[in-house]
Chains A and B, each alone.
Chain A
Amino acid sequence: MSATNVVTAIRDTLHAEMAADERLVLLGEDVGTRGGVFKVSQGFVEDFGERRVIDTPLAESGIIGVAIGMALHGMLPIAEIEFADFIHPAFDQIVSEAARMRYRTNGDWACPMVIRAPCGGGIHGALYHSQSIEAFYAHVPGLKVVMPSTPADAAGLLRAAIRDPDPVLFLEHKKCYRAVTGEVPHGEHVEPIGTADIKRSGTDLTVITYGYEVHRCIEAADRLAADEGIQAEILDVRSLAPLDTATILRSVRSTSRAMVVYEDNRTYGAGAEIAATVAEEAMFDLDAPIVRIGGPDIPAMPYATTLEHYYTEPTPDHIYVAMRDLARF
């Protein structure tokens, strides 16, 4: 085990996997000489050469389309979308092509590839460097969507994504990159896609969350435990698609109270699916209505600090109150 931050965990895992398997290439904007705008691939072009670390033209649909072609012909491409906000031109390639390839050919062709995209707000990224895009893609059968919140999960899930026989959208919350540190197991650490993880055990309520909100929820839960003795269980789904409903339901049944917290716009977000699943499967195990906390339904996260802070509620304070109210219901 060694302590590191999320961006370093991603970098180290990517480097180790590329060193171990020649089929892996990295392509995207600024991934080569610049080493990526978040320095995930710093030094890669020196270590692996321009054949394997490809600075592409500024064309997101083309990046994904070219990566699909590579995947169809025996390579394992890792396509980086510089900011998740810029992924939208590639929606058709991801949804109509990569995610449908196996189904539409009755299992004949497949698209093993990873799409990495830094996402999320709270870093003064404004309307076009802050977006949460997971709900658009978690809706698509044939595509896996993961979002780690810790260095160990980032390393383990990235390794799993690279080894997955199907396309995986690997979302990296930018606020986790350097703010979150932790231990990463040595060696070929793999976290299976589709498994949730209990980040904090508790008996009084279950908070289902992912991404940077995991850390906000843990902070709120620790304070609430100290202040009131209320113990919240924090469940990090880690994988939006497939969703680990078994672990969610097990936790909810044990605490009888469920809350969903997510940064994305509240309406039609991942929290809606999670809340619906709990309602369908565990309604009579609950002692209180499900609480759903999401971002406001405004088009995007504004730039000015005051406006951004409004958006990035749920803050720990906000979550703290909601947890306390739910526990007391």
Chain B
Amino acid sequence: MSTEVTEAPHGALGLSPDDLLRMHRHMLMARLIDEASFRQNRMGRAPFVVPVSGHEGCQIGTASAMDRDTDVWVPYYRDLGVVLVAGMSPYEIFLGVFSKADDPSSGGRQMPSHWGSRRLRIVSHSSPIATQVPHAAGIAYAMRYRNEEAVVASWFGEGATSEGDWHEGLNFAAIHRLPVIFVCENNEYAISVPQAKQMAVPDVAMRAAGYGMPGVIVDGSDVLACYAAMRDARARAIAGDGPTLIECKTYRYLPHTSDDDDKSYRSREEVDEHRHRDPIDRFTAYLIAQGVLDHDGMQAMRDACTAEVEAAITASWEAADPDPDTVLRHVFAERDDA
């Protein structure tokens, strides 16, 4: 029941040059924020950061097919690229990195990269794995109940697919043919445990057949292929044809988190080999070949993004820390809560 999506030219996808440049900018921004966050960690200014590098193609590709005015985002902790597309700014992301009072996700209560924002319809998640998957099913149920023309998407790694909550969420969504898209960012490792010790099947997408939903395999370093798969899945969901499981084959270049040492479980040669299929390099080459971007334009975009990241770091570092007197607040509703 699983099908493979190969590279699709942008014209056939209805993407304009401006759309492509926006996607490219989001990918570049995710990479630059990631690298800068790691530097902040190594400088001792951020106790803990979660890398994204390598996942930009599947994150920006799938997220860009969402409707930012209607849809709901249910990400996991590696989804820096997803929340950038959803509308979280680099400044807001660094407020989280530095656990500042105005961090939109949690006001400095959760670790960085535990995204959330009601304004942006990004649903808060925790650290236990796959707990957000049944939430996505429930949100989709509510969307249909309320006659909304919208979808919800949930992102997770391949390790999440071992969890009972993952199964329970997909099963419920499929039974009710709900408008939800499940996006697996399969980067081959759940921290250190390789996929072969996580499941006996070669593809997560094969599991979709067990739920009676389509399973789609897509090259996660091909941003346009990821966009195409998500666009099709969204159309199915909106049409009332139910959920889709999309498996993006991707790779993470950096350790699981700033506290992980990935040299203990994978070789440098393996990592380097994957870096040769870098989703950003690949998309840059495509844009240059298509005449959408030239080398000067590329450099100008990189400079602008770098400047924005540096400004975001400076401003967020200076922002106020959470007031310790607020630590007891928001256990339950307060009088002025809506």
User: Given that A57-B168, A65-B165, A74-B146 are known contacts, is A97 also in contact with B131, CB under 8 Å in the complex?
Assistant: yes
Encode contact with A along B99-143: 1 for CB under 8 Å, 0 otherwise: 000001111011000101110000110101001011111111111
In the complex, whether A299 has a CB less than 8 A from a CB of chain B is: no
A103 and B109 in contact, given A73-B143, A92-B128 (Cβ under 8 angstroms): yes
Q: Which stretch (B61-69, B265-273, B309-317, B329-337) binds chain A?
A: B329-337
Q: Is the CB of B138 within 8 A of A65?
A: yes
- Chain B residues within 8 Å of chain A by Cβ, number: 44
Q: Does B169 contact A (CB under 8 A)?
A: yes
Q: Are A108's CB and B117's CB within 8 A?
A: yes
A176–B72 CA distance with the chains assembled, in angstroms: 42
Which of A66, A105, A144, A165 is in CB contact (< 8 Å) with B141? A66
Q: How many A-B residue pairs have CB under 8 A?
A: 143
Q: With contacts A100-B126, A103-B331 known, is A57 near B138, CB below 8 A?
A: no
Q: Are A141 and B331 in contact (CB under 8 A)?
A: yes
A232, B163: Cα distance in complex, Å: 51
Set of chain B residues within 8 Å of A105, measured between Cβ atoms? 105-107, 109, 116, 118, 124, 330
CB proximity of B161 to chain A, nearest CB, Å: 15
Say yes or no: A72 contacts B139, CB within 8 Å. yes
Find the residue from B114, B118, B126, B165 having the highest chain A CB count within 10 A.
Answer: B165
CA distance A66 to B104 in the complex (A): 24
Name the residue of chain A whose CB is nearest to the CB of B102: A106
Interface presence of A68 (CB below 8 A): yes
Residue interface mask A27-62, B partner, CB < 8 A = 1:
000000000000000000000000100001101011
B124 contacts A69, CB within 8 Å? Answer: no
Cβ-defined contact, A67 with B138, below 8 A = yes
Of chain B, the residue at the smallest CB distance from A59 is B168
Q: Judge whether B139 and A73 touch: CB under 8 Å.
A: yes
Q: Which 7 A-B pairs have the closest CB atoms?
A: A69-B138, A65-B134, A62-B168, A106-B107, A73-B142, A165-B333, A69-B135
Given A51-B145, A101-B124, A106-B106, 7 further pairs, Cβ under 8 A: A25-B145, A70-B139, A71-B138, A92-B165, A102-B331, A104-B109, A108-B116
Sample of 21 A–B contacts (CB below 8 Å): A61-B164, A62-B171, A65-B133, A65-B138, A66-B137, A69-B137, A69-B140, A72-B139, A73-B138, A93-B131, A96-B131, A97-B135, A104-B109, A104-B114, A104-B124, A104-B126, A105-B107, A107-B329, A107-B330, A109-B123, A166-B333
Which residues of A approach B to under 8 Å, CB–CB? 25, 51, 56-57, 59, 61-62, 64-75, 77, 89, 92-93, 96-97, 100-110, 141-142, 144, 165-166
